[in-house]
């Protein structure tokens, strides 16, 4: 039987909508007043690690003390083991990153109550694709990267989805009582971008966003098919991407307007994302 957490009322003040996909079977409730806090493990890449946001607890992984897994864990009173790592791929879930870091899945054990996973973008090499679409001049003075880049991403995403499904099943094996949540990537550009504020043409911004949308859809489908929950950060962040006003921005663009790595969630995005994830875990 899975352990479903029910924390004290008022423990989370969610500031954005929570959208949750398939849920697993009803499970044991957690009494927030219990002496032992729930144990939470965060797996994934830089979208969860929070590179350059406030204090970094791992410069190898560019992982922040205030990333959304940390915010979520503090909100629900969980004891967190955070092994998220910037640049991680699905191979790092089962293999040693840099040759010396333990596989991320090794952090999951029989006593784990909650597992969050955000991964897949680096398998698709999106960290290279995005900067390759930057344009120094406005259209039509150049070539849209979507016009010459082969769009094989749907098939690639299918392959990545199978690897993530294997990871979810591994979590179920290692921690039979844990609640597992696949957490989406935030929204970056929406459908039009904002050239030249962010130097990606509208046609390419829409195309790049469609790849992230397809990856998020795959995460949702994998969750539904493998006894996990899906937590949607893309929908509530839709109006808070790289083109949003500075004070409303959750995700930075090429030139960050607050402390964060380019094209990653900033401190506000991590706070809001953490509140959403905490609300989903509590429900």
Res. 3: pLDDT tops 50? no
**CA-wise closest residue to 219 among 183, 189, 172, 188:** 183
In a domain, 33, yes or no: no
Q: What is the arithmetic mean of pLDDT over 89-109? A: 95
Res. 33: pLDDT tops 80? no
In a domain, 32, yes or no: no
Burial of 211 per CB tally in 10 Å (0-12, 13-18, 19+):
buried
Q: Sorting pLDDT into bands at 50, 70 and 90, what band is 35?
A: low
- H or E, element range at 38: none
In a domain, 6, yes or no: no
- Is residue 264 annotated as part of the catalytic site, yes or no? yes
In a domain, 171, yes or no: yes
Q: What is the arithmetic mean of pLDDT over 11-28? A: 34
259 half-sphere exposure, CB direction, 13 A CA radius: 11
Residue tagged active-site, from 172, 181, 240, 264: 264
How far apart are alpha carbons 69 and 270 in whole angstroms? 8
In a domain, 11, yes or no: no
CATH of the domain at 113: 3.40.50.1110
Domain housing 275? 39-282
The pLDDT tens digits for 127-149 are 999 999 999 999 999 999 999 87
Q: Sorting pLDDT into bands at 50, 70 and 90, what band is 229?
A: very high
In a domain, 215, yes or no: yes
- Is residue 184 annotated as part of the catalytic site, yes or no? no
Residue tagged active-site, from 46, 70, 86, 220: 46
In a domain, 22, yes or no: no
- H or E, element range at 207: helix 202-225
Q: Sorting pLDDT into bands at 50, 70 and 90, what band is 97?
A: confident
In a domain, 196, yes or no: yes
Q: Tell me how many domains the chain contains.
A: 1
Q: What is the pTM of this model?
A: 0.87
The pLDDT tens digits for 169-202 are 999 999 999 999 999 999 999 888 999 999 999 9
């Amino acid at each position: 039987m899975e352990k479903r957490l029910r924390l004290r009322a008022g423990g989370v003040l969610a500031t954005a909508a929570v959208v949750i996909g398939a849920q697993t079977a009803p499970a044991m409730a957690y009494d927030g007043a219990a002496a032992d806090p729930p144990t939470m493990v965060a797996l994934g890449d830089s979208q969860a690690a929070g590179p350059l946001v406030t204090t970094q607890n791992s410069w190898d992984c560019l992982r922040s003390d205030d990333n959304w897994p940390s915010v979520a864990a503090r909100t629900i009173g969980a004891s967190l083991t955070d092994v998220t790592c910037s640049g991680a791929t699905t191979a790092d879930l089962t293999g040693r990153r840099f040759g010396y870091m333990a596989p991320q899945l090794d952090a999951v054990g029989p006593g784990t109550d909650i597992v969050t996973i955000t991964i897949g973008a680096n398998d698709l090499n999106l960290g290279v694709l995005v900067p390759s679409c930057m344009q120094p001049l406005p259209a039509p003075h150049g070539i849209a990267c979507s016009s010459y880049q082969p769009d094989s991403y749907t098939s690639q995403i299918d392959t990545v989805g199978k690897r993530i499904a294997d990871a979810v099943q591994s979590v179920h094996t290692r921690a039979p009582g844990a609640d597992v949540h696949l957490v989406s990537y935030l929204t970056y550009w929406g459908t039009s971008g904002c050239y030249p504020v962010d130097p990606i043409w509208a046609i390419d911004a829409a195309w790049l966003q469609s790849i992230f949308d397809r990856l998020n859809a795959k995460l949702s489908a994998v969750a539904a098919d493998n006894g996990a929950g899906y937590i949607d950060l893309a929908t509530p962040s839709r109006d808070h991407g790289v083109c949003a006003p500075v004070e409303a921005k959750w995700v930075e663009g090429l030139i960050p307007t607050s402390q964060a790595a380019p094209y990653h969630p900033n401190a506000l995005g991590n706070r809001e994302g953490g509140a959403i994830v905490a609300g989903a875990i509590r429900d």
